[in-house]
């Protein structure tokens, strides 16, 4: 059958190439998500990049687009959702080859030819039933008596995990009911629904909800296992399910952290460009506009950037909400204006260039990466040290 070149996205083998491939399909080639049923990747790293970019665009996997990798890399089963892939059985290939080589050396005979065929590993990213770590042949469901006990305790278990969450999950109203129901389905022998529900809960409740999901999972495990007899045949299976859930949440947290760092890097590049523009004639008013746009993206809801080396410093940039503040601040007040005096969380950055003070940065913050502060200090110190004839007056 003919191949439509619009659906082919050439690239490399890294995660970033998977991200670029999705951008190419949707933005460069203007394909709609309804036109794509699945994305098959050259390896698992690119597939993880595809998952990341699809998630950023709000496209559900596998509900809207299925994703398949190749390699069965160690991190494939901890992806969100777990990645369907192909195992090349590399270790078996190496073991078989070495055994044949040793046999040939010992016997002096010609080496025989063996084939180690790849395995298709079905997980959730293609909409298939995931293969859990225990033997699937033993997954036949628990006893009817224990299933009945769990059903009778269902309402109490739901109330218990809602109490643990304490309103910190912004998912659908019936999230607890759906989560417990999916776990009871697992006990009855219907595989895969619990981890899918748990990862969906973590994804729709925001990146700060991962810790809450872990608390919910802990309480759910304790309540469910308490309802089962010590030697219930499904005990090991359920423990595997809970462990798969932990891994899925951990991977979701990793993706969120990477996305946060990527966003910070983007905003820092914008600040760096504005500071470097000073060397090409841009005045301080242009730098002030850039800082007003970018600094809140780092969590600085209030800030004052001032220039000078004595006690009186000239304000060159401040958050737009305090345009009424005076244009002069003092070193004695650590570069803060009147409205920042009562702000409890303020970090003060001495700005310098070649060991000469050129100003101060007063930043109100909640939680900030120290590396971000170091970058800002270096960039702002460089920008304020550059003389420019166009800087005739301070701006706000």
CA distance 221 to 304: 50
pLDDT on residue 191: 67
CA distance 376 to 295: 10
- Tell me, yes or no, if the pTM score tops 0.75: no
CATH architecture type of domain 283-385: 2-Layer Sandwich (3.30)
CA distance 293 to 356: 28
The CATH superfamily holding the domain 5-90+119-125 is Response regulator (3.40.50.2300)
pLDDT confidence tier of residue 173, bands split at 50, 70 and 90: confident
pLDDT confidence tier of residue 139, bands split at 50, 70 and 90: very low
**What is the average pLDDT across 361-390?**
82
CA distance 163 to 224: 16
pLDDT on residue 395: 42
pLDDT on residue 141: 58
In 3-state terms, what secondary structure has residue 385? helix
**What is the average pLDDT across 115-128?**
85
Q: Residue 316 phi/psi, 5° resolution?
A: -110, -20
Vertex 66: Cα angle to 64 and 71 (nearest 5): 160
CA distance 235 to 225: 8
Residue 348 forms beta bridges with which residues? 362
């Amino acid at each position: 059958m003919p191949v439509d070149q619009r659906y082919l996205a050439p690239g490399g083998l890294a995660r970033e190439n998977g991200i670029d491939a999705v951008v190419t399909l949707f933005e460069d080639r203007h394909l709609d998500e309804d036109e794509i049923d699945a994305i098959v990747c050259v390896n698992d790293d690119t597939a993880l990049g595809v998952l990341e970019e699809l998630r950023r665009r709000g496209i559900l996997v596998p509900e809207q687009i299925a994703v398949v990798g190749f390699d069965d890399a160690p991190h494939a089963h901890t992806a969100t959702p777990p990645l369907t892939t192909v195992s090349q059985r590399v270790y078996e290939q190496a073991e078989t080859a070495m055994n044949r080589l040793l046999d040939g050396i010992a016997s002096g005979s010609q080496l025989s030819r063996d084939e180690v065929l790849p395995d298709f590993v079905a997980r959730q990213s293609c909409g298939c039933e995931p293969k859990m770590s225990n033997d699937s042949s033993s997954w036949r469901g628990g006893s009817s008596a224990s299933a009945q006990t769990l059903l009778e305790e269902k309402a109490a278990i739901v109330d218990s995990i809602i109490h643990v969450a304490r309103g910190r999950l912004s998912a659908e109203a019936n999230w607890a009911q759906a989560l417990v129901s999916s776990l009871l389905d697992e006990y009855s022998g219907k595989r895969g629904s619990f981890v899918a529900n748990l990862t969906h809960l973590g994804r729709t409740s925001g990146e700060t909800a991962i810790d809450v999901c872990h608390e919910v999972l802990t309480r759910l495990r304790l309540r469910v296992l308490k309802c089962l007899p010590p030697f219930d045949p499904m005990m090991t299976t359920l423990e595997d399910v809970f462990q798969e859930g932990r891994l899925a949440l951990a991977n979701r947290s990793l993706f969120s952290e990477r996305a946060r760092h990527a966003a910070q890097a983007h905003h820092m590049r914008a600040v760096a460009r504005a500071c470097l523009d000073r060397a090409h004639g841009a005045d301080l008013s242009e730098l002030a506009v850039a800082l007003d746009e970018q600094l809140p993206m780092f969590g600085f809801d209030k800030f004052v950037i001032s220039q000078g080396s004595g006690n009186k410093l000239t304000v060159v940039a401040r958050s737009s909400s305090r345009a009424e503040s005076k244009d002069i601040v003092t070193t004695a007040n650590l570069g803060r204006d009147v409205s920042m005096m009562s702000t409890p969380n303020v970090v003060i950055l001495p700005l310098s260039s070649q060991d000469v003070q050129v100003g101060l940065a007063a930043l109100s913050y909640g939680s900030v990466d120290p590396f971000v502060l170091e970058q800002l200090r270096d960039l702002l110190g460089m920008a304020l040290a550059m003389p420019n004839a166009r800087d005739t007056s301070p701006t706000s």
